[in-house]
Structures are given as C-alpha cells and as structure tokens.
Structure 1
Amino acid sequence: MRKRWWKVLGLAGVMGVAATGVVMARAERRRRAYTPEEIRAKLKEKVEGQAEGRRS
C-alpha cells in the first residue's frame, strides 16, 4: 500500500512540473509576440509613471 502512495505522489510531482513548463512556454510566447516599438512604448510609459510618482 505504501508503494502506491509514493507512485501517486511521484506522478503528481511530474504532472506539476509539466504544467509549470506549459505555463512558462505560453508566457514566453506572449512576451515574444511584442514588436520592438510596442516594447519601447511600454517602457516609456513605465518610466514616465515612475517619474510622476516621485514628483508627488
């Protein structure tokens, strides 16, 4: 009976690692879908927002 629990636990761990890999791959695909112009615009917005926060 103990072996069965270890097998189930091991299988759950493997499935968790696989699911994490899938999530990371999707995020990477979304990140790489931006054009360089879009990235520059987002960075400028972020910097301007931080600069305004410091002035307040």
Structure 2
Amino acid sequence: MRPWKLLGLAGLAGVAATGAVLARSERQRRALTPDDVRARLHERHAALDAVPDPDPRPTTAELVAGRGHRVARLLRRR
C-alpha cells in the first residue's frame, strides 16, 4: 500500500470519529429539558457568587516581576 492511501484512510477514520463524538454530544444536549438547563445555570451562577473577586489592581511587586517594571518604577517615584 502506498503511504498516501494509508494517510487518506486515517483521515477518513478521524473524520468519522469526530462526527460520532459530535453527534453524541448533540444528543445529550437535546435530551435536557429547559428546566434542567435553567437549574444547571443557576447552580453555576451560585458557584460563581461564592468565589470572592480578587483585587483587580496588581501590587508593585507583581509589576516588578512582570513586564510592567517601568510602571512600577513610576509608581515608586510618586
């Protein structure tokens, strides 16, 4: 067998496997009722509300360690 023939067969097998995985996930998604989807979204939202937001401003040490060392130097001057 020529290598191109094997490569083509492997490509076809990959396409078929990908299609099977996508079809399975689509079936699982369509099996959910709107109430199930709503309940899952509420669970995710509640989980996100439980996690506190980190401080959005980086510290001077973080700026020095990263690419913003010039900014850190400017902040120290003030």
Q: Same fold (TM over 0.5)?
A: yes
Measured in 2, the distance between the counterparts of 1:54 and 1:33 equals: 34
Structure 2: which 5+ runs fail to align? 54-78
User: Stretches of 4+ moved more than 3 A in 1?
Assistant: none
More helix by share: 1
SS in structure 1 of the partner of residue 29 of structure 2: helix
Aligned residues: 53
What's the TM-score once normalised by structure 1's chain length?
A: 0.87
What's the TM-score once normalised by structure 2's chain length?
A: 0.64
Pick 1 or 2: higher relative contact order, CA cutoff 8 A, min separation 6: 2
Select the structure of larger CA radius of gyration. 2
Letter in 1 for 2:5: K
Question: Who is 1:53 aligned against?
Answer: 51
Measured in 1, the distance between the counterparts of 2:5 and 2:33 equals: 45
Measured in 1, the distance between the counterparts of 2:9 and 2:24 equals: 23
Q: How many Å apart are 1:54 and its aligned residue?
A: 2.2
SS in structure 2 of the partner of residue 7 of structure 1: helix
